Amino acid sequence: MRRSRADALETRRRIVEAAARLFRAKGIARVSVGDVVGALGLTVGAFYRHFESKDELVAEAIEAASIESFERQNRTAPEASVDARRATLLGNYLSKGHRDHPEQGCPVAALGHEVAHECASTKRAFTRALERLLEVVESVDPGDSKRARRRRLRTAASIVGALVLARATNDERLAEEILTSVRESPDLRSV
């Protein structure tokens, strides 16, 4: 049942895509290789035609999720003012939608903690994802000064932390309070 080269490449791409979604939704450890290829109607044997190991898939999936998430942010109203785009970005990032749908969201917030225990290539992919998130923040809060750089790092830490906490608590009111508080941070409103 050999497929054409193009089909094979497409299969590989779809495996990475499915993994990027599933890992963000359920966490890396809770998603098996079988879960990923099963979502595409394939068997695990097929997986090892395309990847050396699950670790290889993890690194690629983080990379893919990061690029997807990065490009979505950059697509948002490129003609608007920096202030307006910053407000939109924060609104999206700290929304209930983002909290409730990690599978489409930022991989830094979705996988941050788990990556602390993963292999070197995964940590490398995660670091690139974090750098991409910082680029997004920079696009709505530019500046070459040390102060501007530190403000951006604070912003990244705040929004990731807010999302992690809002997702982990079972107290709906507290979760919303956290997201609102960071969204309306004076540090972010008047840059």
- Residue from 25, 39, 55, 68 touching DNA (CB under 7 A): that is 55
DSSP sequence for 129-153:
HHHHHHHHHHHHS---SHHHHHHHH
- Residue from 18, 20, 24, 47 touching DNA (CB under 7 A): that is 47
Q: Is there binding between residue 6 and DNA (CB under 7 A)?
A: yes
State the nearest-atom distance from the C-beta of 111 to DNA, in Å.
Answer: 15
**Count of CB atoms within 10 A of residue 144's CB?**
7
Q: Where are the beta strands (DSSP E) in the chain?
A: none
Q: Which residues bind a second copy (CB under 8 A)?
A: 26-27, 29-30, 102, 108, 110-117, 120, 123-124, 126-127, 130-131, 149-151, 153-154, 156-162, 164-165, 167-171, 174, 177-178, 180-182, 184-187
Pick the closer one to a second copy by CB: 42 or 118.
118
Q: Report whether 96 contacts 49 (CB < 8 A).
A: no
Q: Is there binding between residue 61 and DNA (CB under 7 A)?
A: no
74 contact, one of a second copy, DNA, none, CB 5-8 Å limit per kind: none
Q: Is there binding between residue 54 and DNA (CB under 7 A)?
A: yes
44 contact, one of DNA, a second copy, none, CB 5-8 Å limit per kind: DNA
Q: Is residue 1 helix, strand or coil?
A: coil
Distance of alpha carbon 187 from alpha carbon 97, whole angstroms: 23
- Residue from 17, 35, 68, 138 touching DNA (CB under 7 A): that is 35
**Count of CB atoms within 10 A of residue 10's CB?**
12
Residue 79 CB burial class (10 angstroms; 0-12, 13-18, ≥19):
exposed
